[in-house]
Amino acid sequence: MSGEPKTMRDFVKAPRWWRTEILTEVVQSEDGVGDLLRLLKERGRAAYFIIDEALSGDVRFGPILEQDELFVFLASESEPRTGDVDRLVALIREKRTQPDTIVGVGGGSSIDLAKAAGICLANPASAAEYQGYGLDMKRGAEIWVLPTLNGTGAEVTPIAVLRGPEKKLGINNNFTAPSVAVIDPQLSSGAPKFNRFYTMMDCFFHHYEIAHSRTSEEAAILDASDGLRMARSVLAQDLTKYALDRAIISAMASILGGSSTIGGRVGVSHAISYGLSNSSPKLPHSVAVTMAMLACGDIYNDGGYEETVKFLRINKVSPPRARDYGIDESQTERMTKTALGMDKLWLSHFGPDWKNTVDAKFVEGIYRRIVAA
Ligand SMILES: [Zn+2]
């Protein structure tokens, strides 16, 4: 679509802007907290809330913070750990009345925790046992979300990204998709610039890589192309101050980021980012992909690399450095092994003959550039 809404009034009336079928009902709202609580009541849901600790000082979330069935999550790490999910599930299971809906309020981490807890409630093993694709799992509680940061697409994807004892890998299952996502772009006004900037950078990389993928479906590529245009328009501006019109575009680009992952596949920067993430528990995913893109100038030479440099410059953000996150030369071999294992992502970018280009030496070369930066 073109001519994106600039005001909340236009946003709530905007017709569906994504093509790919998603499993989530998107509720466009001018009063996210109010609409969430109203819908839960109208539909007779027994809700259990998970809210990001960072929102506890924000009066707009008062009606949620007053709820009895509430878990305040300290989302300081980049992703929730499988142990966080296990502890929360155990806590909920001890309750006399069981919730039928887990509501995640916050950024990607709180949403991922809600998704994982929702499905794991109905499945006996530790969350770490369910990290992967196509595993046999039962449907758990319904998952509802109220995002307070836009760009991850987590609000509509059937993936709960988790950091386990061995690996960072999501629970990928249709029962992990939120049933309802209440989208109110005003709620991201409290997010720090660092989070708003890097989350949109990740959104840009998703759209850019899917739009350039050789294995993505057509609808996903079209959604990614729209998302790419929106992410670019946001990142080409200085994001120091929160602005509602940008928040609206970011929220719309985020939904496209989720819809385009269904049928779409990211590429090289994401493959490289997983090696980095596995070597540094505190490295946020969005920063890892930025580092990866900055070392892929020869692969993404039709804009991806140059635009990344430009967005960092406009926003006066210095290029992130691996060494600031404890990553050095000694981890190159391990990172290379992780990245080389992401067959589908290499296939996505280079096509069926990807092994002609991509081998250990090629991948190691990229990591050497990253650690030397
Ligand atoms: Zn990403």
Residue 257, helix vs strand vs coil: helix
Per-residue pLDDT of the chain (373 residues; tens, 9 = 90+): 457 899 999 999 999 999 999 999 999 999 999 999 999 999 999 999 999 999 999 999 999 999 999 999 988 666 899 999 999 999 999 999 999 999 999 999 999 999 999 999 999 999 999 999 889 999 999 999 999 999 989 999 999 999 888 778 899 999 999 999 999 999 999 999 999 999 999 999 999 999 999 999 999 999 999 999 999 999 999 999 999 999 999 999 999 999 999 899 999 999 999 999 989 988 999 999 999 999 999 999 999 999 999 999 999 999 999 999 999 999 999 999 999 999 999 999 999 999 999 999 999 999 999 999 8
Residue 14, SS3 per DSSP = coil
How remote is the CA of residue 323 from the centroid of ligand 1, in Å? 21
User: How far apart, in whole angstroms, are the C-alpha atoms of residue 316 and residue 321?
Assistant: 15
Q: DSSP assignment of 182-217, as one string? A: EE-GGGGGGS-HHHHHHHHHHHHHHHHHHHT-SSS-
Distance 46 CA to ligand 1 centre (A): 32
Compute, in angstroms, the gap from residue 94 CA to the centroid of ligand 1. Answer: 35
Residue type at position 275: G
- The first and second tokens of residue 95, run together, are 């309750």
> How many Å lie between the centroid of ligand 1 and the Cα of residue 270?
6
- Taken in order of first residue, the domains within the chain and their CATH numbers are 8-187 (3.40.50.1970), 190-372 (1.20.1090.10)
The token duo for 274 is 């997983």
Q: Which two tokens stand for residue 315?
A: 């926003």
Report the 10 Å Cβ neighbour count for 109.
25
Name the CA dihedral angle for 240, 241, 246, 250, rounded to a multiple of 10 degrees: 60
Sheet holding 47-52: strands in order across? 25-28, 180-183, 142-147, 101-106, 47-52, 70-73
| Token pair in block for residue 97 | 């009345």
The answer to whether the beta carbons of residues 14 and 5 sit under 8 Å apart is yes
Query: How far away, in angstroms, is 37 Cα from ligand 1 center?
Result: 30
Tokens 């280009």, located at residue: 357
CA of residue 272 to ligand 1 center, whole Å: 11
Separation of CA 125 and ligand 1 centre (Å): 27
Question: From the CA of 206, how far away is ligand 1's center (Å)?
Answer: 6
Q: How far, in Å, from the CA of 256 to the mean position of ligand 1? A: 13
Instruction: Report the C-alpha gap between 268 and 152 in whole angstroms.
Output: 18
Q: 269 CA to middle of ligand 1, Å?
A: 9
Across 161-200, b (16+ Cβ under 10 Å) vs e yields bbbbeeebbbbbbebbbbbbbbbbbbbbebbeeebbbbbb
What gap in Å lies between CA 104 and CA 31, rounded to an integer?
16
What's the confidence (pLDDT) of residue 78? Answer: 65
Residue position matching structure tokens 């386990």:
164
> What letter does residue 345 receive in the DSSP assignment?
H
Structure tokens at 281: 């528990």
What pLDDT was estimated at residue 327? 96
CA of 153 to the centre of ligand 1 (A): 9
